Amino acid sequence: MAPRDRSFRLALACAVAAIASPAAAETLSASYGIYLAGLPIGKANIGASIAGDRYKVDVSAKMTGLVGAVTKGSGEATASGAIGQRAPTSAGYALRAMSSDGARTIRVAMAKGNVQAAEMTPPLDERPDRVPVTAAHKRGVLDPVSALIMPAPHGPQGPLDPAGCDRTLPIFDGATRFDVVMSYKTTRQVHTKAYSGPVLVCAARYVAQGGHRPRAAVKYMEDNRDIETWLAPIGPKVLVPYRIAVGTMIGQTVIEANAFNVQTTTGTVRASAAQ
């Protein structure tokens, strides 16, 4: 795999991990377009159900067009757990991904933020330069799907309080361990067919911890300061992703919502958008 391809895949992983999704709504269904240098290259969907403090999230993504024809990239993942004051506590997740290299499955069991068991089939190639994942790396972590479930802050400005950006997501995906460090940039107004209203604009940084190989693509992503996510509030306690932008070696990748629906058990649509 070329360094530019590795950079692109790391950028997508970082972007997805930086998304914040609802903690108060009972159901969410959302679709996103994925763009590279302004050209559509894929689609993604998120579905979440929340009952009390329990959640279940399903995510799917597929590369389309020329990128899809070359990479044959697609994947489906699911996770469940409990939502805390500041972050979720994952009970585990499962992933099945397809690419031009073939199929790969991952299963991770967790308890109280600690990894109990992890299985990847086929496993990553053993390489002497691969940074090991230690036992400490598997404590106090989130899986990459549960990292999408974030409660809104309870600061003076409600869900638009800058504290909504200021968090670090410690991600273990079954093979690698990395942090997504988020920080507040600004608050702005958005007016599009998909959404009209305020958003928190958060900067994000990728920090490799273990399981990776110290190569050019990893170094590029760690030095990358061209990563941000826009979080849109729905109600006083919920943040949903509107837009993610990540600079890569081959152009800017953007993941942007083109439709989303949030609904209560009574059937009341609390927010919807379609493009």
Tell me the angle at which helices 3-17 and 216-223 cross, rounded to the nearest 10 degrees: 40
Domain boundaries, the chain: 3-258
CB within 8 Å of 171: residues ≥ 6 apart: 17, 141, 142, 143, 144, 147, 177, 178, 179, 180
Mean pLDDT, residues 261-267:
64
Q: Which residues pair with 130 in a beta bridge?
A: none
pLDDT digits (tens, 9 = 90+) for 202-213: 999 999 999 999
pLDDT at 194: 74
255, 34 Cβ separation under 8 angstroms = yes
Could you tell me the sign of the dihedral formed by the alpha carbons of 251, 31, 6, 183, in that order?
Answer: positive
Going by the DSSP 8-state scheme, the letter that residue 152 receives in this structure is: P
Phi/psi of residue 215, nearest 5 degrees: -120, 180
Q: What percent of the chain has pLDDT over 70?
A: 81
Reported confidence tier of residue 192, pLDDT bands at 50, 70, 90: confident
